[in-house]
Structure 1
Amino acid sequence: MRIVIAPDSYGGTLSATEAATAIAEGWHRVAPADETLELPLADGGTGFLDVLHAVLGGELLPLQVTGPLEGKPVSAHWLKVGEVAYVEVAQACGLHLVPRERRVPAVARAASSRGVGELIAAAAADPEVTRIVVGLGGSSNTDGGAGALAVLGAQPLDGAGEPLPDGGAALARCAALAGPPVLPARVHLVLAADVDNPLLGQHGAAAVFGPQKGADADAVTELDAALGHYAEALATAVHRELTDLVTAPGGGAAGGLGAALLACGGEQVSGAGLVRELSGLDTALDSADLVLTGEGSFDWQSLRGKLITAVASASAARGVPCLVLAGQVSVGRREAAAAGVEAAYSVSEHAGGVEASMADPAGTLAALAEHLAGQWRTPGSA
């Protein structure tokens, strides 16, 4: 059998490369002669840069930028491939940069995307760069991209014309922006979003993603209202219709950074679709007998443009079964089948609980792959 192993990263426990290695190792315990192709992928979130660097080559350029909390610096990179620059939001303001014990309402209100603006500015300053692709996902902020745009000249101001502090909550006092965000005319901005959620409302940045960043019900309500207030000032500054910014698919990605970069004239694309194209996934699937993919949690958010849907739809188009090996699974069989998933399996369930799976992420993932190899190998295969 020929098995394509194409996972995303697993929620801060395993990188996509580590996950692919673990799955392949487990599978080969049962079927050592099977041909496995490890193809680590990403959808715009954590690991976006590593995956593209492995596929495209290019030069990783280091940069110390402002992190998501209290202005403390973090180390990041941007990737230059010819005239194209790639930026990963999660490197500057990723949720993994906020310790679990600090994911509380006060921090959710204050986390900033300023470092993303610094990465974009550094890439734009390179005279050879004509296209900047920003991978949107895995963020800790819900600031509507205000921190990032402040670096590009669009500092939020209060009613007295004073700069507002970073963070989404402060945007409730936003009366105007210092000016429109500015990028060189030669630069075309592309938003590689990991989800298609809009900026505001029930399916927006605060309501859907705020809780995983530490926001409670009160903080979610406060942040959603603050983002709406900020969006009005942003629309005025860039001469855009407010409705366009707050309802655009992907506007809610990365804590609202999607909407901010759309306001800069950016073009929104599927992050998973972009990686699918650049990685050669479709060509790999043309000769596959089975596809294994996965991520930390296979839930309803996975069905809104994340990597698993891209892999599953490409597999289904070729009649190749696609199995999901996720840390946890909450998508029903019917919904999974509609997305092109043949079957989904939970690592934590197979390991006997979340605690056991988290204690040894690679080992328990490999054990699940070993178990599935016994079930899914073609009868008579070597």
Structure 2
Amino acid sequence: MHIVIAPDKFAGTLSALEAARAVADGWRSVDPSARIDLVPLSDGGPGFVEVLHTALGGTLREASVTGPLGEPVTARYLLVGDTAYVESAQACGLHLVPAGRRDPARTTSAGVGELLALAVADGAGTVVVGLGGSSTNDAGAGLLAALGATPAADLARGGGALADIDKVDVAPAREAVAGVRLVAATDVDNPLLGLHGASAVFGPQKGADPALVQRLDLALTAFADRADSEGAARSEPGAGAAGGLGFALLLLGGAVESGIGLVLDAVGLAGRLASADLVVTGEGSFDSQSLRGKLPHGVARLAGEHAVPCVVTAGRVAVGRAEAAAAGITETYSLVESAGSVAAAMEHPARELRDLAASVARRWSR
């Protein structure tokens, strides 16, 4: 039996590669003869660079950049030919901010801009920025500041400070990336502002209460009025991705592309599914958002094109059987249900995922 194991990360517990290996170990314990193809994936968020490096090779460059709280962090980008891949979460990810210090009014995306500048200096003609998992809500103002936009000091102080800036000059940042093709890799289609914007939808995940959400949306509106006088970029699908980093890249002339599509193409998943009997995908929480274009949905869609059954192993499953089937998912399996509790699943995630995969293998192996 030929099994393709193609999960996303299990946020907070397992990387995509760790999850793939755990599923493979569990499957082999039941069916040692199975032909198993490991294909760890990412939608542009955490793990983006690792997944692409595994698939494409290339050279990893490491640098110390400004972290979300202004303290230095170590981040890497990947250079493949003249294309660089930057993972925004490595410079401003939520995982870099301790729970007690999470404040999206203060966190900055400056480090992402520094990585972008390093990639350009390294000769990249195309820079693909994976968006997701950020702690920021600054509309990419920090990124723009790192590339030369002014007033740099104020732009790098976080989203809460943007309401007090009278004038913004983005021209130096545009000049810094002139001639470079910029791609915002994301499957988030939110605009920058409003009820479906960065502050309202993603702010609470980063520590914003309702009052702060409203204040941040007003601050980002003021910033957009000054930085985007024509008002086009703020309404583009994906402008609200990663706390508005999509907006900044659009201001610089970039384009939004599907992070899932980019990664699936890079790893050649379509070709790897052509001879498969089953694909196993997964993520930390398989819920209603998963059916709106997150990674398992993309895998299931591609599996359907090749008439390959697709099952999901997830930390938590909050989708009914009928909804999952409508998205092309044959069956779903919950790690929490298998382990008996959230605490048990979180304490030994790799072991519990191995055990769950073994259970799935007993059902599917032939």
Which piece of structure 1 moves more, 84-93 or 172-181? Answer: 172-181
Query: For residue 203 of structure 1, what is the aligned residue in structure 2?
Result: 196
Q: In the TM superposition, what are the counterparts of 1:45-60 in structure 2 within 5 Å?
A: 45-60=45-60
Deviation sequence 1:260-299 (CA, Å, 0-9, x none):
1011100110001000001010001111111111111112
Match of 1:291 in 2: 279
SS for the counterpart of 1:291 is: strand
Distance 2:43 2:298 in 1: 9
Q: Answer yes or no: is 1:92 the counterpart of 2:91.
A: yes
Partner Cα distance (2:151, 2:324) in 1:
42
Indicate the SS of the match to 2:354: helix
Work out whether residues 184 and 257 of structure 2, in 8 Å CA contact, stay in contact via their aligned partners in 1. yes
In the alignment, which residue of structure 2 is the partner of 1:218?
Answer: 211
Alignment match, 2:9: 9
Can you give the 5+ residue segments of structure 1 that lack an aligned partner in the other structure?
none
- Provide the rounded CA distance (Å) in 1 between the counterparts of 2:124 and 2:155: 31
Residues 154 and 161 of structure 2 are in contact (CA less than 8 Å); yes or no, is this contact kept in structure 1? no
- Counterpart of 1:314 in structure 2: which amino acid? L
> Which residue of 1 is the match for residue 65 of structure 2?
65
Question: Residue 137 of structure 2: SS of its match in structure 1?
Answer: coil
Deviation of 1:156 (Å) = 4.8
CA distance in 1, matches of 2:334, 2:256: 32
Which secondary structure state, in structure 2, belongs to the residue aligned with residue 323 of structure 1?
strand
1:81 is aligned to 80
Contact 2:9/2:47 (CA < 8 Å) preserved in 1? yes
* Equivalent pair of 2:22/2:353 in contact (CA under 8 Å): yes
**Helix, strand or coil at the partner of 1:362:** helix
Structure 1 residue 235 corresponds to structure 2 residue 235: no
Q: Which runs of 5+ in 2 are unaligned?
A: none
Cα distance change, pair 150–251 in 1 and its aligned pair in 2 (3 A): same
SS of the equivalent of 1:109 reads: coil
Give the letter for the 1:91 counterpart.
Q
Measured after TM superposition, the shift of residue 336 of structure 1 is 2.2
- Of residues 330-339 and 345-354 in structure 1, the stretch that sits farther from structure 2 once superposed is 330-339
Residues in 1 aligned to 2:125 and 2:328: alpha-carbon distance in whole angstroms: 36
Q: Give the Cα–Cα distance (whole angstroms) in 2 for the partners of residues 23 and 39 of structure 1.
A: 11
Can you list the C-alpha shifts for 1:7-40, whole angstroms capped at 9, x where unaligned? 1111031111100000011111221211111111
- In structure 2, the CA distance between the partners of 1:46 and 1:194, relative to structure 1 (3 Å rule), is farther
Are 1:120 and 2:120 counterparts? no
Report the equivalent of 1:330. 318
Q: Distance in 1 between matches of 2:137 and 2:219?
A: 10
Is 1:252 aligned with 2:248?
A: no
Q: Give the direction of change, closer, same or farther, for the CA distance of 1:94–1:201 in structure 2 (3 Å limit).
A: same
- By how many angstroms is 1:376 displaced? 2.2
Deviations 1:24-82 (A, max 9, x none): 1111122121111111111100000011111111111111000001x100001111111
Q: Distance in 2 between matches of 1:133 and 1:214?
A: 28
User: Which residue number corresponds to residue 158 of structure 2?
Assistant: 167
Q: 1:334 to 1:169 in 2, by over 3 A?
A: farther
Aligned residue for 2:154, secondary structure, equals coil
Output the TM-score relative to the length of structure 1: 0.91
Number of aligned positions between the proteins: 364
Contact 1:137/1:194 (8 A) holds in 2:
no
Kept after mapping to 2: 8 A contact 1:197/1:304: no
**Alignment partners' CA distance in 1, 2:213 and 2:304:** 37
TM-score by length of 2: 0.95
Q: CA RMSD in A?
A: 1.6
Identity over aligned pairs, percent: 56
Worse overlay, 273-282 or 333-342:
333-342
> For residues 298-347 of structure 1, what are the alpha-carbon distances to aligned partners after superposition, in whole Å with 9 as ceiling and x for unaligned?
12332333211211110111221111111112233333223221222221
Tell whether the 8 Å contact from 1:235 to 1:245 is kept in structure 2 after alignment.
yes
Structure 1 position 24 matched with structure 2 position 17: no
Report the counterpart of residue 149 of structure 1 in structure 2: 144
CA shift for structure 1 position 165:
5.3
